[in-house]
Structure 1
């Protein structure tokens, strides 16, 4: 087992850039790797409320919460802050619903207790669950129409995972640590199950605080490439699509606001759906058949060059031409009919 300080101290820092909010959208147009902007959102009212103390920050959020049930993850008392699997590969936390005020008061009541359960509101849609919060605290992202989410909780550790959308995350209250790895490091991070996950995405099975290099020897290679950033209130980080990120809330009370968007047209399908379908239809075929399908995928999907279509008259290529909303809809309808048989 490695000492946790050794793990994080061995990583390179995420590069930092000096930008103001008005420059962010154009910078993101050229961004393909992570970067941190210090103080990007220090003028947010939410951040300013947090500087007065966690109680003031909680009251600010309570005043804007809509009157509806919020979904919350609650760990076992004394179970630590890591949201992960239990010994039977179930979840080591339970999911409940309740009024926002009661959940927030529960976080406050447990602060400082040695056996306090982890309490975590994860990926809450800002517009659906709060009135005015998004309008008062927002980053200008140009023509992007992102999904805006808020994450609120006690000390937490969320295992390394990927998201398909790009992500700008703002540490609004408390402190956050992001540990990042490029997409090609997925095998060195030992991803777990696809369908049985804490939050819908496969997660790394490595405990970043106590990595077991006997069980996960390739993680040492990932550590040589990984990046780390500790964010203070108002700091922001850009996490590109499919970069692995391990996220920790380091303070007794933490709030993160993030913006997700895809650069691909909205009518395109989700790549993870194609992966699941390939597992269903191809993975367990005989090796010779899999080799043929690998070649077909290269021909139609990954190479997708002139040799794929030049021999077919223009106007007769169908979905082999670049997809449009109409042809994407036709393909989706065909797949739905096929899957329903």
Structure 2
């Protein structure tokens, strides 16, 4: 599947120290960390052969079934919705990891294989011991590694509500990235029926019809591309949209998701609640609530309650995780009473 490539390329770094990576995170832009994982045994095994990498992974497999998805060859390697958007163009299966690895190796030399992918397998469950043999970069802290194993396939543009370090272990991958500001121009699919949890764009990069998706041109103007070779990693900031294309018949990516320690918030629920309560109000009332959100949620210039004594600021002041949890619990109780 041929997809266009943005002109802008993601900036590359080599061996950034903690101070430099702090600056990278503060800038909230993607960066490629070249060769970050070059010393991993898994990367070395993958550079030797797919069979060697398969054996490396199989050595940690528990024998428990793992979930993976399969799309028929006529789908061109793209995992997406079915034609009427009520289902998907792929099916989910389960098998021990060793069987999945055997299947991928079996299809490697076939001209028209099905697209296969095990997505987001948590290391402690699927391959305990992999992380000890292939230690996490220091920048991800205590984040749990997750494995993405498959062949040449396309994962449609989506975003995650985490910071993300995506590590290419075997196989070449291309990430096409869009900032959160492009959301309105990406034609987001159904909230209620996603492909795997995160929201996805409905615009296929290989067929971005300008008549059907006219605003996508504005999103494309903000896009950038990150090409990863085995051993490279990509830092994806919070909520950045990314389209992922794998080019090789046997590929492994390990990623780490994290958010600030102790953060357990559910901003998507707040968005959905606002959509239900505010979006269909008359325009003058929506403007009034836009001003309220700007003043109490999105104003970075000042703390809204700074004019009040600390003892009575309440939710206008900065909230620690415990206070935030108490406020959310109170809201949940109030919504329950309204039913």
Q: Is the 8 A contact 2:304 2:317 kept in 1?
A: no
Aligned to 1:48: 44
Q: Is the 8 A contact 2:32 2:233 kept in 1?
A: yes
For residues 267 and 72 of structure 1, the distance between their equivalents in structure 2, rounded to whole angstroms, comes to: 30
Q: Is the 8 A contact 1:78 1:114 kept in 2?
A: no
Aligned to 2:76: 80
Which stretches in structure 2 are left out of the alignment for 5+ residues? none
Go from structure 1 to structure 2 and tell me whether the alpha carbon gap of 1:332 and 1:307 turns closer, same or farther (over 3 Å shift): closer
Alignment match of 1:104 (pick from 101, 113, 125): 101
TM-score of the aligned structures, taking structure 2 as reference length = 0.91
For residues 338 and 66 of structure 1, the distance between their equivalents in structure 2, rounded to whole angstroms, comes to: 45
| Structure-to-structure mapping, 1:114-133, within 5 angstroms | 114-133=111-130
Q: Is the 8 A contact 1:177 1:249 kept in 2?
A: yes
Deviations 1:107-137 (A, max 9, x none): 2222233442211111111122212101111
Alignment match of 1:29 (pick from 18, 22, 40): 22
For residues 36 and 47 of structure 1, the distance between their equivalents in structure 2, rounded to whole angstroms, comes to: 17
Q: Is the 8 A contact 2:63 2:98 kept in 1?
A: no
For residues 143 and 93 of structure 1, the distance between their equivalents in structure 2, rounded to whole angstroms, comes to: 32
Alignment match of 2:232 (pick from 212, 230, 235): 235
Q: Is the 8 A contact 1:169 1:236 kept in 2?
A: yes
Aligned to 1:188: 185
For residues 317 and 303 of structure 2, the distance between their equivalents in structure 1, rounded to whole angstroms, comes to: 13
Which stretches in structure 1 are left out of the alignment for 5+ residues? none
For residues 30 and 301 of structure 2, the distance between their equivalents in structure 1, rounded to whole angstroms, comes to: 31
Cα offset, 1:323, TM superposition: 0.7
Cα offset, 1:95, TM superposition: 1.6
For residues 225 and 140 of structure 2, the distance between their equivalents in structure 1, rounded to whole angstroms, comes to: 29
For residues 82 and 66 of structure 2, the distance between their equivalents in structure 1, rounded to whole angstroms, comes to: 24
Return structure 1 stretches of 4+ with deviation > 6 angstroms: none
Root-mean-square deviation (Å):
2.2
- Classify the secondary structure of the residue corresponding to 1:108: helix
For residues 183 and 143 of structure 1, the distance between their equivalents in structure 2, rounded to whole angstroms, comes to: 22
1:330 maps to 2:330? no
Cα offset, 1:33, TM superposition: 1.2
1:271 maps to 2:264? no
Go from structure 1 to structure 2 and tell me whether the alpha carbon gap of 1:175 and 1:24 turns closer, same or farther (over 3 Å shift): farther
Aligned to 1:65: 61
Cα offset, 1:150, TM superposition: 1.1
TM-score of the aligned structures, taking structure 1 as reference length = 0.90
Cα offset, 1:253, TM superposition: 0.7
Question: When the two structures are aligned, how many residues end up with a matched partner?
Answer: 333
Cα offset, 1:70, TM superposition: 0.8
1:144 maps to 2:141? yes
Cα offset, 1:252, TM superposition: 0.4
Cα offset, 1:234, TM superposition: 0.5
- Classify the secondary structure of the residue corresponding to 1:49: helix
